[in-house]
Amino acid sequence: MFQVKVPNKNFSGVRFGLKFNKGVAETDNEKIAMHLKSLGYSVKKLKSKNEGKENKEGK
């Protein structure tokens, strides 16, 4: 999961298929995230909900 921020933090709308609200959107699509980063957008990788959780089965 990636968080993408546009330079204008007041922007709300759609860019590259992502819905931005107050300049922020999230996507699972790494290709889109990296393309937007190359265009000057701020991109931050977020931990997924399952990342970091131990598998309790088999203990």
What are the domain boundaries of the chain?
2-45
pLDDT of residue 47: 86
- Altogether, the residues listed in the chain come to a count of 59
Q: What is the pLDDT of residues 1-59, one digit of tens each?
A: 999 999 899 999 999 999 999 999 999 999 999 999 999 999 999 987 665 554 444 44
d(CA 56, CA 47): 19
Provide CB contacts within 8 A for 5, sequence distance 6+: 23, 24, 41, 42, 43, 44
